[in-house]
Every structure is written in structure tokens, then in C-alpha cells.
Amino acid sequence: FPVTIFGDRPADIAADGTGDIWVLCSGETLYDENWNVIGDSDAKLVAIDGTSLDVEGTETVGVNGNHPRLLEIGADGSTIYYINENVYSLNINDGELPGDVFITGDFNSLDARNNGEIWLSSVTDFVNASSIYRYSSDGSLKNTYTAGIGANGVYFR
């Protein structure tokens, strides 16, 4: 594969319903020689043609200094979900970045199920139990569960 530089710190990758590939690059915190923060590079969402592997588009996500993470493709194959201080949703066919705030809150994991549900985890610290949240495809909270310390994902069989 040819190497293409398209954004700093690729954080997550997913394929949509057409086979195109989406890469969420969270951006980089920049430091001087004394480790003082001097700025940030922009976060990017990159679309790659799944057949040719050509970069089809690169768009800045959020504002400079945001470092989004965790990308998922919804059950419909055309909705992207990502975390950037909230959970955002973006329809790849007609949406515009940054998309819409879908669920309010900062979470530590993001899992989209084939039935349209969105599962999120929240870790307050590494002493107390974590919370797992189950949302419907319209963004309504269905259930909250208590999990172990530091839960950072949901596994389905």
C-alpha cells in the first residue's frame, strides 16, 4: 500500500456500507523542546475509497485543540458516530461536519450494534465502578448498567 499522510494521530477506522473507509485522526498536541505546549494540529476525518484506496476527502473535525476519538459506523451503513466531547452523528451522504450532537456527555467507549443501538461507557476514576449506557437508534437512553472499574468497551457475542 502506498503511504499517504492525511492527519496526525489516526485514532480509529471503520468501513461504511459501501466499503469506503473512514479514518478519524485526533490531531496532535505540539510541544517545544522544553515540553511546553505550543499548540495543536487539527483533527481530521478522512474518507478513503475502499477499492482504489485513494483519499476522497479530508475535513477538519471540531475546532483546533479538540482531540476526537472513537469512530463507529451505524447499522444503516451511512451514519458515522464519533466522540468529541459529546457523541456526534453524521450522515455520510448528505451531512456536514461536525455533524449533529447525538448524545450529550463525554464517554470512554463507543460501540454501534447491528440493531441500531449505541452503547457507551463512562469512567469517572479508577477507584469506583464505571457506567455503561445503552441508547436506541434515535438517541434515547434505554438502560444504564454498573460495570467494573475502568470499563472502556462493550463486547457482544
**Residue 88, all three cell numbers:** 456526534
Q: What is the pLDDT of residue 18?
A: 94
Q: What percent of the chain has pLDDT over 70?
A: 97
Q: What is the mean pLDDT of residues 92-108?
A: 88
Closest to 72 (Cα-Cα) out of 90, 97, 93: 90
Contact of 109 with 70, CB cutoff 8 Å: yes
Task: Tell me: pLDDT of 1 over 50.
Answer: no
Q: What is the pLDDT of residue 4?
A: 54
Number of neighbours of residue 123 by Cβ within 10 angstroms: 17
Question: Which sign, positive or negative, has the C-alpha torsion 3, 57, 50, 97?
Answer: positive
Q: What is the mean pLDDT of residues 31-47?
A: 94
Q: How far is CA 13 from CA 36, 38, 133, 150, in A?
A: 30, 28, 22, 23
Torsion of CA 91, 92, 97, 100, to 10 degrees: 10
Cβ-count burial of 14 within 10 angstroms (0-12 exposed, 13-18 middle, 19+ buried)?
middle
Q: What is the pLDDT of residue 14?
A: 95
pTM: 0.86
Task: Tell me: pLDDT of 3 over 70.
Answer: no
* Residues 49-97: tens digit of each pLDDT: 999 999 988 889 988 988 998 999 999 999 999 999 899 999 998 878 7
